[in-house]
Amino acid sequence: MTDRAEVPVTLENLHAAAARTKWENRLHAELRRSGLATPDREHYFALALGRSFRLDFAWPDRKLAVEVQGGGWMPADKLGRRRGAHGGGEALERDCEKLALASALGWRVVPVTPAQIKDGRAVRWIEAALERDGRAGIEGAGEDEGWRARMCRAFAIKGSPAAWGVAPVEPTNDAAPVTARVMG
Separation of alpha carbons 143 and 137, rounded Å:
11
Q: Evaluate if residue 182 carries a pLDDT over 80.
A: no
Separation of alpha carbons 120 and 134, rounded Å:
23
Q: Which of 114, 141, 146, 132 is nearest to 27 (CA)?
A: 114
Residue 49 has, within 13 A of its CA and on its CB side, a CA count of 11
Strand partners, 110: 66
Q: How far is CA 37 from the centre of its chain?
A: 16
Separation of alpha carbons 93 and 89, rounded Å:
6
Separation of alpha carbons 73 and 69, rounded Å:
8
Q: Which pLDDT tens digit goes with each residue over 74-111?
A: 566 676 665 555 566 787 888 889 999 999 999 999 99
Confidence of residue 4 (pLDDT cuts 50, 70, 90): low
What homologous superfamily does CATH list for 4-118?
VSR Endonuclease (3.40.960.10)
Q: Which pLDDT tens digit goes with each residue over 26-83?
A: 999 999 999 999 999 999 998 888 888 999 999 999 999 999 987 555 566 676 665 5
Confidence of residue 21 (pLDDT cuts 50, 70, 90): confident
Listed in order, the ranges of the chain carrying CATH 3.40.960.10 are 4-118
Residues 6+ apart with CB under 8 A from 157: 151, 163
Q: Is the pTM of this model over 0.85?
A: no
